[in-house]
Amino acid sequence: MDTDIDWGKLPFGYYPTDYNVRCTFRDGKWGAVEVSQSETVNLHIAATCLHYSQEIFEGLKAFRGKDGKVRIFRLRDNAKRIQDSARGILMEPVPTELFEEMCIKAVKLNERFIPPYGSGASLYIRPFEIGLTPRVGVKEADEYMFIVLVTPVGPYFKSGFSNTNICIMREYDRVAPQGTGRWKVGGNYAASLAAGHRAHEMGYSAVLFLDPKEKKYLDECGPANFYAIKDGKYITPMSDSILPSITNDSLMVLAREMGMEVERRHITVDELEEVSEAAACGTAAVCSPIGEIDDIDTGKKYVISKDGKPGPITTEFVRRLEAIRHGEEPDTHGWITIVE
C-alpha cells in the first residue's frame, strides 16, 4: 500500500509507521526478536527507566538511492556507540549483530515509508534501550528492552540550506566534567532542555555550551557537535563531555581527503574571532551552518559568515556526504549497509 505523504514537507518528528522491532534481555540472555504493531510499551511503574533514567538511544538514517537501493549510513558505528552508552550507565550492551539485524528488519518492514530519491527526506531509525526491572533503591536493572522504531523525516532545511545564529550561555551546563556527556543518554537531553528553551526564546537555534569545568573551551552545540574552519584547518573540540558524533567523524575523514588538516583540541571562545566557517553537525542536518555566535554574558558578537551564506567547505561537506549516502559517489570507507 502506498502512502500519500508529502515527503518534502515532513518535519523532523514522529510519524507513525507500520511496525517496530523489540527484544528483551531477561534471565541473563537476549530473547527472540519480536515484531510489534503497537506504539506503546507496557512498563512496571517502578521500572528503572522511569525513576533512574536508564535510557539510551541512537539515531541514524536510511536513504533511497537513485538506483532504487536502500542504504543505511554507518550502522555498525551506531551499534558500537550504543554499547559504549550501555556500559556507561550499567545497562546490558546489545550485541552488534542483534542491533544490525533489528535495524535492518525495522527498515524492511516499513519499506513504504522510505522516502523516494530526490525528495530530500529519509527514514530516521531510532534504536533505544530501557531498564525494566522494578527498583526503588538505586541500583541498575537486571532486565532490559531494546526497541527499534523508524519514522520518515523531511529535509532538515525546508527553504534551502542556510545559516542560523547560536549563543553562548554560561548559566547552564549540559553535563558534568566526568559525567555522562560522552554517552547518548536520554538524561543529558533533559538537562539541556531549559537552556535550549531560553536560547529559542531569544531567537537562537542552539546553545554552544562551554566546557563544564573551566567554562573556557567550546563544547557541545545543543544536541550536535561543533566544528569550525580556521586558517583552512578543520578544528573541533576535544572533551570528555562531548558525544562522539559519527557525522563529525565522517567530516574529519572528508576534510583530510579534501587536503585539510584536522585538529581535535581545546578551542577557546576568543578563537571564534578567527574562524571563517562554523557549523553544528549531526545526523539530523549533517551540517547546520552558523552565521553568528553571540556571547550573551559578555555581549560580544562573533560574526562568522561575512556574506550571510553558508561557507564553501560546509557546503561541499554536505554535498559529498549526501552523495555517498545516496550511492552517487563510491563508499570507499565501508560506511554503507545496503538493505537487500
Ligand X SMILES: *Cc1c(COP(=O)(O)O)cnc(C)c1O
Interface residue list for ligand X (CB under 6 A): 59, 184, 220, 223-225, 243, 245-248, 282-283
E strands, the chain, where? 20-26, 29-30, 34-36, 55-57, 60-64, 70-73, 122-131, 144-153, 164-168, 207-210, 218-221, 225-230, 233-237, 262-265, 275-282, 286-295, 301-303, 336-339
Smallest separation (angstroms) from ligand X to the CB of 174: 7
The smaller minimum CB distance to ligand X, of residues 109 and 252, is found at: 252
Beta bridge partners of residue 168, listed in sequence order: 208, 295
Q: How many residues does the chain have?
A: 340
The smaller minimum CB distance to ligand X, of residues 26 and 76, is found at: 76
Of the candidates 184, 188, 190, the one whose C-alpha atom is nearest the C-alpha of residue 243 is 184
Task: Using DSSP, state whether 233 is helix, strand or coil.
Answer: strand
The smaller minimum CB distance to ligand X, of residues 20 and 283, is found at: 283
Q: Write the DSSP assignment of 252-280 as a string of letters.
A: HHHHHHTT--EEEE--BGGGGGGEEEEEE
The smaller minimum CB distance to ligand X, of residues 282 and 310, is found at: 282
Q: Quote the CA–CA distance of 78 and 319 in Å, as a whole number.
A: 22
Q: Quote the CA–CA distance of 151 and 314 in Å, as a whole number.
A: 27
Smallest separation (angstroms) from ligand X to the CB of 152: 17
H-run or E-run covering 86 = helix 75-88
Smallest separation (angstroms) from ligand X to the CB of 87: 17
Smallest separation (angstroms) from ligand X to the CB of 52: 20
Smallest separation (angstroms) from ligand X to the CB of 324: 14
Smallest separation (angstroms) from ligand X to the CB of 219: 10
Smallest separation (angstroms) from ligand X to the CB of 181: 7
Q: Do residues 127 and 78 make contact, with C-beta atoms less than 8 angstroms apart?
A: yes
Task: Using DSSP, state whether 201 is helix, strand or coil.
Answer: helix
Q: Are strands 275-282 and 286-295 parallel, antiparallel or unpaired?
A: antiparallel
The smaller minimum CB distance to ligand X, of residues 209 and 302, is found at: 209
The smaller minimum CB distance to ligand X, of residues 147 and 285, is found at: 285
The smaller minimum CB distance to ligand X, of residues 135 and 320, is found at: 320
Smallest separation (angstroms) from ligand X to the CB of 75: 12
The smaller minimum CB distance to ligand X, of residues 243 and 269, is found at: 243
C-alpha cell read off for 115: 522516502
